[in-house]
Structure 1
Amino acid sequence: MISESPLKSFLKVLTLSVCTTTVQIIGQGAGVQNEQNTVESLLPEDKGSPVVIDSTDTSGNPAKAQAHFAAGVSWEAQGQAGKALESFRLSLEEDPSNTRLAVQVAEKLISLREIELAYQTLLPATRQETAPGKAFELLGLIQMSRGEEATSLASFQQALERDPSLILSRQRVIDVHLRNGKERPAFRMIQEALEATSNQVDEVTLLIGMYLRYVSMRPDRLQDLGSQLESLIAKSSEIAKEQPALKLSISDLLMLQERFEDAEKMLKDLKDVQPPVPLVSEKLVDLFLRTGKKDMAILELGELTRENSENPRPYFLLGSLKAGDGDSAEAEKHYRKAMDIRPEFEPPYYELAAMKLNEGEAREALEVLQQAREHFSDQFILEFYSGLAMSALRRYEPSLGFLRQAESIAEKQEPERLTGFFYFRVGSVLERLGKFKEAEVEFLKCLDRAPDDATTLNYLGYMWAEQGVKLDQAHEWIMKAHELEPESEAILDSMGWVLYQKGKPAEALPFLEKAKEKLTEPDPTILDHLADVYEALGETGKAEEAWKQSLEIEFNERVFKKWRILKDQGETKS
């Protein structure tokens, strides 16, 4: 018997994974580096530092270069971009071999969105022996924005060779290693990061963000990094006295280490800081939820809605809390409030759609997802949930189309989305379409990722048993599923059915009778299988009664024919 995997817990995890953590749902945590689409968003804040003059360089005119650069900064501050660009160009002409000047000019060009000019400035600079690591880092960021992964990786690696303290370069190399399955070099780079980084506040903040990002991507490594994270907490705490943004990042580390009391004290202290520190209340909400203090979380959320009624995130989280309590009506009200406030805020659409799917309201889920399509496109969850909704409505062809589109998006953007559960859903839709060979391929992908998934083992084994093919392998896999979930009525039925298909009705009978006993409500498929076994064992009266019960639950032409033949035979004999 085929049983579908339960959607509820999976959909909840999947939807929240859009945002990774509650903190990121509410707002970005200080220091956490996220993927961005623009080069300028990746640069640290411009402190307006003066041009660095290389006193060992005698080939240019450093003083004039500095004057032109300072003029460019002044023109930029006045909004005179054209004049600023000309001044920066003149500064490079006066001191063309000053690679540190080239870096500063490139940073200014990027801030002015003159990315190509920045690129042309950095290329000759990186060819010089004196080029600092920062020059390669900026070059790598530009190459990354162009989609040149191989060349950007090489640039980031060059940057780290010259300056191991460059956090952005280290993070990008780690990201590439993880995408390519190179776990060991990625972990080694994480381990080396703490010693390589200075005690500058900005660098330590970025370092915390890098560790948080890595752990969110590889949570199984958290325990291996325990001592380093404690050292990072100590290192950052030493310089955080008058640095509220850094303290905010430290609170993330404390929560990661489950030092909740310390994190709560730090966040409550930050609430008293003036001017107010962004995200403090949001992080307190996260902490209260993680420590089971739901009432305190709701109070914080209420305070957030009063402080800023145009912020959709507190309403979204209130919706999630109500959904968790089973209060669907209140949850939907909060989700829709968040959607009304900011239609381009994605998570409430997906949470509401997931809730509708879990409640069996597939049409309503599709309506919510259609609303989302008015604002978003090329989103994995949007396509995946649409596929699930269509499948629930037994519209398998459009379901398959949405699932394939989701797969295409994930392959390009988020390959980690392609889990065993995803391939199980694709396989089940293909099986319903009668495309058994294609379904088998998808189920095997699922088992490659989750070899002990009892639902998939049972589904594929039962599919083979139904077709009367690969019966030995079907029996083996259904037995493995039975070992994993010995009380599942669906798997008990499959065990009985594959044994019957192998010509062993006597061995099949106990499994099918136990499957029937375990049901809270009669199942027509199990009764049909039981009748087949009874008939094979010569117990025609029991077979006729089981088929009759099956038909009373759900009419099936094939079952009716078997029952009619058996009934007619009995009448003929009498």
Structure 2
Amino acid sequence: MFKRILETTILSFAILISSCAHKGSSSDGAYYKESSYRDGNAAPKQFTPPALLTESDKMDPFYVRTQADYHYSLGEAYSLEGQAQKAVESFQTVLVYDAESSSVRTRLAKEYLKLGQINKAIEQVKIVIEKNSDNKDARLLLAGLYTTIRSYPQAIEQYEFVLNKYPDYNEANIYLAAVYSETQQYEKAVKLFEKVLALPDYANKHLIHYYIGRIREEENAEKNFKLAEQSYKKASELKPEFVDAVIALGSMYKNQKQDAKAMALYQEFQKSKGPNVKVAEILSQMYIEQQKFDEAFEQLEVLEAQTDDPLAIKVRMALILIEKKMFDRAIGKLEEILRMAPESDKIRFYLAAVYEEIKKDEMAVNHYLKIQASSPFYGESMVHAGYLLKNMSQLDKAVNVLAKAYENKKDYPQLYAMYASLLDEAKDYKKALEVLSVGLEKYPDNAQLHFYYGTIYDRTGDKEKVIANMQKVIELDPNHSQGLNYLAFTWAEMDKNMDEAEKLARRAVTLDPEDGYILDTLGWILFKRGNKKEALKFLEAATKFQPTVGIIAEHLGDIYRDLSMVEKAKSMYKKAFDLEIDKKKAKELEQKILAIENQTVPDRTPASVGK
């Protein structure tokens, strides 16, 4: 923190020292000579080249002065435009005409500093000090430059020289104290700051108390907590609107796990001296962390009104509205942001997701499809678009969207899974297997891709590959409830490994106790193993969670039938019949209803096959 203070002063000194080119010392007689170059090892006199200028060939002083002033003005202009290198060249040219000017050298040092050429800046300031060792401003600038390159002993030497020569220059005490703080000489720093505080006419005592507070906190927050707190409070007392002291004290409270005190401090400042954007930023984040979204939103409104770049604030406001399920307002805010930044794929993705949440699927799809292939949101957007289009009974369009996405983006595993599932819906099992094979080459450890791979092989009747892929799913993700369920019903369907199948199904139910299909699988396995009463419990629960799935209703009817609860069985079969859209299956259900009346019942099939 104190290093930043010192660095800030470096440019300030350079600006104060700078003046027009003709101020300060200039070359006597205005001869055209380069006095900044001093050759300590000159060649013998007989080898000296003929002089280009003799004592009688004096340059026109007016010409020299106008050239110096012109190039100085040019350097100033370049500096203001941010062209530091050109400014350096201009000030170097000034020195050709006025090599003795200390002000030009300090101005040149400033431009070197901008370019990060600290050693060259130091070289120029040292030349100034060689000419006048008592030059206070040059020594302060040199001290600041040394601080920038962390040459703290040299910086301290310069500040101490200034204080010895100019004991009443109190700002040097502050700069030296800052260096002491940087070198962890905390007591020396505090003593210098207290020396400044003792001055009756010093105007910025609130800053000194603030600096002491920072030192005490840096030194040892636990040990010096009270001392730091007192200093911050004194700074605020002397200047109540001084927000840095409030923020520092609040931050210290938070570091001490006293969030309530920090919150109260910030709230009081906003109420009495605010609203302040810095405090609003901190408060909004604290409110969000505590899920106090209304209060956070108020602080974000402060930021939105006062910041020069409100986009990020508006995004946070929109996310809060989404969190609060205030979707209409969230849509309004996101559309406002899109008008300001129409190229923002992230905002368009958020907007599409909100439309999807409120079941405006067509609007959601429109926005998802506008997201470009180069966007990091592209893959997920196409997955959502494909899913929604399928639900909108636009399977062909969904397949086309995912086919294009599949060609554009190969680094999003969910895209392979969604494309394969759509091809599965379209009964293009060969293409689905091809897509998943490519995906698994790229992502061999992706459990979900193995899961879909297994389900497609189930469509083609290759049970061994179904089992192999589901076992891989469970190996990669032992808590993959759908993989556990699928392997359980596959084994049960084959009348193999029934003990293990029951274990897998029970584990799946533990992981996902409200999934009707999983409950049905366990009920079916128990039914096949003769445990009909426990099977009934799970099948009734399955029907509760999936009341519109015909195959589950049929299975419950089967167990009612076997337990001689014929009226309930008949009711479930009728429900399954009403839900069934497949004519062949509907005919089978009709036969079951008739069979109850005739006391003859055909075999049943597992729910998972009908999923």
Higher relative contact order (CA 8 A, sep 6+): 1
What TM-score comes out, normalization by structure 1 length?
0.49
